[in-house]
Amino acid sequence: MYWENKIVPNANYKATWHRKWKDAVRKAAIYGSQPIISLLVDDGNGGTKADIDVPYAQDVRLEPGKVSDQDSDIIFWDVYYTRKQVRDLIEQAKRETKENPQDGYNKWDAKALQMIYDAKQDGEERDQNEDHEDKDGKDVVKGGIKFCIAFQRGVKAPFYMYHKATDSTVREWENPDPTGDIPVKYLYCYQDFNNPYGIGIVKLAGGTQNVLDELRRLHILATQIGIRPPKKIRGAEDEVDEDSLIMAQDQPWYLGQNGEVEMVEIANGVYQGLANTVSMYKTSLLDVVPVGDTSISGTDSGNPQYSKTHAGVKFQEQNLSIDDEDFKDNVYAVYEQVAENLINITFANMQGSDMLRLTDDEMRILASGGLEVPMDELGQPITNELEVLWDEVRATFKFDMEAEEDKKQMDEEKQQSLISALELRASDPNFDMAMEMSGYKFNLGEAYYTLMKMITKNDKIVEEISAEEKEMMQQGMQEAPQEMVNAAADVATTPEQAQANMEAVMAEYGIDQQTAAEALMMEEEGADPQEVIQAIQTKKQQEQGQEQVNA
């Protein structure tokens, strides 16, 4: 609850929580992996909060000789500060050192920072050879005074920030995670445990994509030549006016006495088969990248071997899941690790108290888990506010996500099944009576409520009835008007008449006494005569079927 209500909504360091995760997934697919770093940042109110950063991939390096982030006990992160940021670090170091001079958790070397600041060295920039793409001078190349942060695995393991140019350590602090986990997690696209930084889709599909790009370039060139083909000119060179040989309406060409012009047409099989060649390489590309073929297949476009029928498309989706599901599983696994890291950092480092406002359902969940929650006589929480005393909740926590196949598809299937059930009840007049005869009851209100919760997230469309309204409704049902009782007494039949009616129904339809009584009751309640007859026949067929089974 604290995760959903506090940590995620406030994890907006550099960008929103969801934007940072989308960026991490995109970069992991392109580059093979993307580091995600959990850290404590300024909350803007004089305190700190747990958040994540999605750094430039080349700024983070794993321990040499290790095959993955989980295999590394030390991970390095290059950070770049402007001179203003270094000056702010100096002020922070002086302030924290003065406030807690014996703090073993956080040690600063303000003098070393001041020397680095006074040196006024030129800013260091990343090596352009390390860039993933040629930026052409359009993208920001981050630079400044370069520091390196060394993270170590272990409970209270020391973290260091040092300046390589002056060979000085400017800060030392302890691992804030009480589990000792390292705060750097790698989201891998494909992990082969040979390349510690994984393999991305660009590397897998880059060669084939380059061939497709070249074929398209050649196709454009051939099309341009076909529209404006070269000219083969015969005759005396000094008699031909080449400036007049242009494609235009009513354009005269001056060729001299024996001149002749012939357009050179491209009519070889390579150009004619170019579309099929492109389709072949496109198929190879789609077999590598987990993306389906969405083209309308013809004789020379898309992949004619891909079926566009409903069954064929479903089969493609199953094939795509081999790679696509693997990447999605990686995302879920890393999300669990990052969330667990943030929760443990939060609960271990927060001070004082925090007030949460929860829903009734969340309060009931806490009560069922053993927390003492004050309730009123109707079983509702007296208050929805919960005070968290951080010194009393120090612990280590695990974070697990439920396996999710395709939530949207599952929700759509549930919604359609519920609609089918409601349509069946509406079309069968004997639905409720047949269920009651079998000892069951269809809760129509609950079915409508469940369907509306699936269709809309607007809580104002379906509102829960308050306790006062429920009590008034119950009183209204118990205090029925005396006129209704008198009216019922006026239309009541005598016992002799009721017995005669029952015997007449039994004789006419060949049914037992119980079925005849139920039919007469339906008629008294205002049911249509055809509905009563249909109900009698249905009950009779059920009894005959049961007799055949018993025989």
Please count the CA atoms within 13 angstroms of the CA of 20 that sit on its side-chain side.
22
Pick the most confident of 148-162, 237-251, 301-315, 418-432: 148-162
Instruction: Give the β-pairing of 260-263 and 353-357.
Output: unpaired
Poorest-pLDDT segment among 205-214, 317-326, 464-473? 317-326
d(CA 473, CA 482) in angstroms, rounded, equals 18
Residue 380 has pLDDT above 50, yes or no: yes
pLDDT value at position 485? 42
Residue 162 has pLDDT above 80, yes or no: yes
DSSP-assigned beta bridge partners for residue 158: 174
Do 65 and 183 form a contact (C-beta atoms < 8 A)? no
d(CA 165, CA 306) in angstroms, rounded, equals 58
Summarize pLDDT for 518-534 with one digit per residue, the tens.
Answer: 888 888 777 788 888 88
Residues contacting 339, CB < 8 A, separation 6+: 3, 399
Residue 200 has pLDDT above 80, yes or no: yes
d(CA 41, CA 96) in angstroms, rounded, equals 15
The packing angle between helices 310-349 and 17-31, to 10°, is: 120
CA dihedral sign, ordered 156, 162, 164, 166: negative
pLDDT bucket at 287, cuts 50 / 70 / 90: low
Do 301 and 279 form a contact (C-beta atoms < 8 A)? yes
Summarize pLDDT for 306-336 with one digit per residue, the tens.
Answer: 455 555 555 444 444 445 678 888 899 999 9
Read off the pTM. Answer: 0.59
Average pLDDT of the residues in 36-55: 88
pLDDT bucket at 134, cuts 50 / 70 / 90: very low
Average pLDDT of the residues in 238-252: 76
pLDDT value at position 376? 73
pLDDT value at position 321? 42
Q: What is the DSSP track for 297-323? A: --SSSS-TTS--SHHHHHHHHHHHHHH
How far is C-alpha 341 from the chain's CA centre?
A: 20
Pick the most confident of 155-164, 369-378, 422-431: 155-164
Poorest-pLDDT segment among 125-134, 205-214, 244-253, 521-530? 125-134
pLDDT value at position 185? 95
Q: Which two tokens stand for residue 337?
A: 């690790």
Percentage of the residues of the chain whose pLDDT score is greater than 70: 79
Q: What is the mean pLDDT of the chain?
A: 78
Average pLDDT of the residues in 77-82: 92
CB crowding 513-534: b at 16 or more within 10 Å, else e: eebbbbbbebeeeebeeeebeb
Indicate the burial class of 250 (C-beta count within 10 angstroms; 0-12, 13-18, 19 or more). Answer: exposed
Poorest-pLDDT segment among 152-161, 211-220, 267-276? 267-276
Percentage of the residues of the chain whose pLDDT score is greater than 90: 21
pLDDT value at position 301? 45
